[in-house]
Amino acid sequence: MTHKFLDDISSPEQLRQLNEKNLPAVCDELRQFIIDRVAQTGGHFASNLGSVELTVALHYVFNTPEDEIVWDTGHQAYPHKILTERKDRFDTIRKYKGLSGFPSPEESPYDTYHVGHAGTSISVALGLAKARDLKNKKHHVAAVIGDGALTSGLAFEGLNNAHDAKKFIVILNDNEVSISKTMGAFAKHFSKIVVNPKFRSFKQKTGAVISKIPLVGNVLTRIIIRLQGGIKHILAPQNVFENLGFHYIGPVDGHNVIEMIEILKMCKTETEIPILLHVMTKKGHGFKPAESDPESYHGVTPFDKNVGLPNGKKSTPTYTETFSEIICNAANENNKIVVISAAMCSGTGMTKFAHENPNRFIDVGIAEQHAVTFAGGLAARGLTPVVTIYSTFLQRAYDEIEHDVCLPNLPVIFAIDRAGLVGGDGKTHHGVFDISYLRHLPNMKIFMPRDKAAMEKALDFAIENNSPCAIRYPRGPILQNGYDLPDFSSEKITSWETLKSGDDVTLIAIGQMVFRAFAAAEILEKNGINTTVIDACAIQPIDENTLFQIIEKNNKIVTLEDHVLSGGFGAAITEKLSDKNCEYHILRIGIDDKFVEHGSIDELYSELGWHPKQLAEKIKNWISNE
């Protein structure tokens, strides 16, 4: 498919050569390009359709990459990637060795910072602006943040610190949606500003017209902006941004590229105080199914653009779906259970729970720290809070887990989804650190079930237990690659399960790695190596009885975990054996001191050597060298 303008635009410099009147057509082509490509590759979709005009306007008005734009979270930066020298490689997005799904300075000088987690843009941009000032440079710095990302505490901390920043613009891309509806009082505050059309048209019309008058334009615009400040105080006395020292401009139509350009030019002239530009966009703009169901189209797998997303469920349930089922069943029996989500209701499979238990489901917004401490408060008064959260986002709340849950020893349950490698989202999203950052906390217990039976036992234990418990489980279906095993059968979840016995070596694995260990054991068997295979569902505390029995029989052990080795499960075993002065030989299989890139799970496992054949080979070589 050819594009009249886009085919000749590889960089913002080329975009800036165009006459302004052609920019709406550029936007249409860019949007169609994204629809065509993401329907084939999968990836973030609805947010990128919403950010097209804003991106074109920003690169048109600002002298990027000298002027610096920081995209918050980075899931909306596909139009930016396409305009900044990556159009020809866009087919490789999120694929192994291909373009990252998020901004990455290693990939392009136009990507000012690594992102993936929400709420960082204002702090990053302030840091860049301060560095600019200290180095006596003169360029502009802008942060683009969604109304969802603005619910995170970190974003507020950045806003609070920005009052004296110069040549500094925060652009609030407000589509009233996070992944689900944006939660909290802040979102309500925005809607009050938005329903103030009188204010909006005054600002846009006067500002845009006057800024066109040569020489006096900029000065007058500035006066007008100040004047508007006065009017706005009458019209919108509660404007929180003004109270924080920003000059607030908006709300403006984020799909009118010409209007956006005028307003951004106007913003550029105001160099002395920070500006908050409030832009209204529609998530999924220009693709009807995504406009009407932005949640389903937030992130997509490949789909037929003429039909829309496939419906129907896959035959093998995922770990997420399984947890969803058992927590709903548990809540039917136990009215103390309360589920808390940090803006990830559907991702963590809690849609059904929220529907069935509206009073016992709380979406706190992108506020992981608050989610954990809030859960502590609930637990302190006898409720059973379950924080359903991705491993990578729980990292935000380390101090709250330690100080507000483990120290007072409160029975908060952490349902840690996406624990392990996640695939296309890559290094900002792999959930491979949680054992390390939880294991050393007193009172914390950690389980990693391989199947539904173990998950049920882990949840039952956690509900009965009077201290914090974490249940970690990965993305994807149970029975990874069809390595079928009977149900977890240990009576207690705190006891490890011996799946098979053999004399040469013992494989101790957690979660989905149990299936891989078992398949590797079958290959080793064919090579004359007899293995014992253990499912170590209880990671913390470990089942010492079983561990010491194993060591007495055979002191060669291999640990397998979808986690970093440093501080991980294998490290826990090593510590335990060393402390007891055991004689042992250990091979720890996991991730060795590196950030794993993006790609399919299959490719990443190949790279790490986690396919059963590779595992068997590695174990065989290790045994022969011991």
Ligand X SMILES: Cc1ncc(C[n+]2csc(CCOP(=O)(O)OP(=O)(O)O)c2C)c(N)n1
Enumerate binding residues for ligand X (CB under 6 A): 47, 50, 73, 75-76, 117-118, 146-149, 175, 177-179, 283, 343-344, 366, 393, 396
Q: 238 burial class (0-12, 13-18, 19+ CB within 10 angstroms)? A: exposed
DSSP class of 594: S
Taking the complex as a whole, the smallest distance from the CB of residue 299 to ligand X amounts, in Å, to: 8
User: What residue type is 115 in one-letter code?
Assistant: V
| 251: three-class secondary structure by DSSP | strand
Pairing of strands 168-174, 361-363: unpaired
Cβ within 8 Å of residue 623, ≥6 positions away: 504, 505, 529, 556
For every residue of 139-165, DSSP letters joined together read --EEEEEETTGGGSHHHHHHHHT-TT-
Taking the complex as a whole, the smallest distance from the CB of residue 517 to ligand X amounts, in Å, to: 32
Calculate the alpha carbon distances from 320 to 186, 350, 435 in Å.
30, 9, 19
Taking the complex as a whole, the smallest distance from the CB of residue 46 to ligand X amounts, in Å, to: 7
Residue 252 bridge partners (DSSP): 279
Calculate the alpha carbon distances from 82 to 16, 34, 301, 334 in Å.
15, 9, 20, 51
* CB nearer to ligand X: pick between 49 and 510: 49
Count Cα atoms within 13 angstroms, Cβ side, for 93: 28
* CB nearer to ligand X: pick between 297 and 447: 297
Which entry of 31, 200, 396, 450 is annotated as an active-site residue?
396
* CB nearer to ligand X: pick between 61 and 149: 149
For 246-383, where are the E strands, in sequence order?
Answer: 247-253, 275-280, 299-300, 337-341, 361-363
Closest CB to ligand X belongs to which residue? 146
Count Cα atoms within 13 angstroms, Cβ side, for 509: 25
Taking the complex as a whole, the smallest distance from the CB of residue 511 to ligand X amounts, in Å, to: 22
Taking the complex as a whole, the smallest distance from the CB of residue 189 to ligand X amounts, in Å, to: 15
Which entry of 283, 450, 457, 588 is annotated as an active-site residue?
283
User: How many helices (H) and strands (E) in the chain?
Assistant: 25, 19
Alpha carbons 144 and 55: distance in angstroms, whole number: 10
Residue 368 is a catalytic residue: yes
* CB nearer to ligand X: pick between 122 and 524: 122
User: What residue type is 534 in one-letter code?
Assistant: I
Residue 360 is a catalytic residue: no
For 475-555, where are the E strands, in sequence order?
Answer: 497-500, 505-509, 531-535, 538-540
Which residue's entry shows tokens 């993401």? Answer: 38
Taking the complex as a whole, the smallest distance from the CB of residue 119 to ligand X amounts, in Å, to: 6
Query: H/E/C letters for each residue in 13-58?
Result: HHHHHCCHHHHHHHHHHHHHHHHHHHHHHCEECHHHHHCHHHHHHH
Residue 86 is a catalytic residue: no
Taking the complex as a whole, the smallest distance from the CB of residue 222 to ligand X amounts, in Å, to: 30
* CB nearer to ligand X: pick between 341 and 506: 341
Taking the complex as a whole, the smallest distance from the CB of residue 148 to ligand X amounts, in Å, to: 2
Pairing of strands 43-44, 299-300: antiparallel
Alpha carbons 66 and 424: distance in angstroms, whole number: 30
* CB nearer to ligand X: pick between 211 and 341: 341
Alpha carbons 106 and 138: distance in angstroms, whole number: 24
Query: Is there a contact between 453 and 507 (Cβ–Cβ < 8 Å)?
Result: no
Calculate the alpha carbon distances from 135 to 110, 138, 267 in Å.
20, 9, 23
* CB nearer to ligand X: pick between 110 and 393: 393
Pairing of strands 445-447, 469-472: parallel
Which entry of 270, 295, 368, 402 is annotated as an active-site residue?
368
Residue 431 bridge partners (DSSP): 420
* CB nearer to ligand X: pick between 346 and 554: 346
Query: Is there a contact between 229 and 247 (Cβ–Cβ < 8 Å)?
Result: yes
* CB nearer to ligand X: pick between 180 and 480: 180
* CB nearer to ligand X: pick between 151 and 512: 151
* CB nearer to ligand X: pick between 287 and 496: 287
Taking the complex as a whole, the smallest distance from the CB of residue 343 to ligand X amounts, in Å, to: 4
Taking the complex as a whole, the smallest distance from the CB of residue 77 to ligand X amounts, in Å, to: 11
Taking the complex as a whole, the smallest distance from the CB of residue 5 to ligand X amounts, in Å, to: 25
Query: Is there a contact between 244 and 193 (Cβ–Cβ < 8 Å)?
Result: no
Catalytic residues: 283, 368, 396
